[in-house]
Amino acid sequence: MLPPIRISLVSSDAQLTSQLQLRLQSRGHQATAMSYIDGVLGAFYSDPPDLLIVDLFADGNAGMTIVTALRSDSFFSTIPIIGLVSPADYDLFPWETYPLDDVLFLPINFSELFCRIALSFSRINRIFDNNPLTRLPGNTSIQRAIEDAMGKPLAVCHVDINHFKPYNDAFGFSHGDEVLRMLSRIMFNAVRDAGGGFCGHIGGDDFVFIASLAQVEPVCQTIIDHFDQIVLDLFDEATKRQGYYNGTNRKGEAEKIPLLSIAIAAVPMNSDKIRHVAKVAEMAAELKKQAKETEGSHFVVDQRKG
């Protein structure tokens, strides 16, 4: 069972906060009411809430002061803030200056309030889970997608870029970032064109996609074909002809580094062997090791029975 959402209500209108508190508690939320004179910021520093609902125009500009102070502090900047405003004040509010997550008109429509609370948390969860570079969902969404795939005729595929670190070291992080964005687009398009599925970015040069078992091999081959073709544009003609560049390996030794390629490990999810998400990662690591044993891009689908 998930813990209750802890919501702070800030207004000098005692009747409003009392009404809000009762409604939120009836939905299982833990609601704490504070007036401006209670030292709101001090209370937040000692016990920060999960979400703040603030009356923007009551008690002068105190509500706006609180919003500005919280948003300027990196520790509190991620707390969703819903502002309460009367329709008469709507046009007067400097929306560009105060970074709220949402706004609600007074008097409160409680059905609308509950929707906005749910949407605020959904939005903040997406923002924090998505990888800022590729915009693909991150580890929380990946784990949930793998759990949903268990027992179904689907394959969870781990994708890894071979020789990515020496490429980053030799050509710079901006070029490395472009490689990651390129692979994410290729992967997403291949999965979508094959009927849809899931794509996620674990971090660094590690990605995950989920496709149907019937489509997994064509999808893997499409990703490899497109990556191998586009990646050549990253190197000059002389490097492409010789198939390597002079770089440094993980031991700091000079070495002829092969051009970038990818390894894909596909784990069927309708197997009795899969009883936990961690088993998928373990099997993928074994398969990826096989895929990396041969020079160039390769994929391996687990064919073991039992």
pLDDT higher for 148 or 63? 148
First CA to last CA distance, the chain: 34
3-state SS track over the chain: CCCCCEEEEECCCHHHHHHHHHHHHHCCCEEEEECHHHCHHHHHHHCCCCEEEEECCCCCCHHHHHHHHHHCCCCCCCCCEEEEECHHHHHHCCCCCCCCCEEEECCCCHHHHHHHHHHHHHHHHHHHHCCCCCCCCCHHHHHHHHHHHCCCCEEEEEEEEECHHHHHHHHCHHHHHHHHHHHHHHHHHHHHHCCCCEEEEEECCEEEEEEECCCHHHHHHHHHHHHHHHHHHHCCHHHHHHCEEEEECCCCCEEEEECCEEEEEEEECCCCCCCCHHHHHHHHHHHHHHHHCCCCCEEEECCCCC
Integer Cα distance of 145 and 209 in angstroms: 9
185 exposure class (CB count in 10 Å sphere: 0-12, 13-18, 19+): middle
Highest mean pLDDT out of 34-43, 242-251, 289-298: 289-298
Residue 180, pLDDT > 90, answer yes
pLDDT in tens, 117-140: 999 888 887 878 888 899 899 998
Q: Which two tokens stand for residue 238?
A: 């002389």
Which pTM does this prediction carry?
A: 0.70
Q: What is the pLDDT of residue 275?
A: 81
Q: What is the pLDDT of residue 2?
A: 57
Angle at 239 between CA 235 and CA 244, to 5 degrees: 105
Question: In angstroms, what CA-CA distances link 52 with 18, 25, 66, 117?
Answer: 15, 15, 10, 10
Q: What is the pLDDT of residue 247?
A: 84
Residue 277, pLDDT > 90, answer no
Counting residues of the chain whose pLDDT is more than 90, the rounded percentage is: 58
Q: What is the pLDDT of residue 306?
A: 53
Integer Cα distance of 146 and 110 in angstroms: 36
CA atoms within 13 A on the CB side of 225: 8
Region of poorest pLDDT, from 13-17, 90-94, 202-206: 90-94
CA atoms within 13 A on the CB side of 196: 0
Residue 4, pLDDT > 90, answer no
Counting residues of the chain whose pLDDT is more than 70, the rounded percentage is: 96
Region of poorest pLDDT, from 20-24, 54-58, 184-188, 298-302: 54-58
Going by pLDDT thresholds of 50, 70 and 90, the confidence category of residue 38 is low
pLDDT in tens, 42-93: 788 778 899 999 998 777 778 888 888 888 776 777 789 999 988 888 787 7
Residue 1, pLDDT > 70, answer no
Integer Cα distance of 173 and 7 in angstroms: 41
Going by pLDDT thresholds of 50, 70 and 90, the confidence category of residue 267 is very high
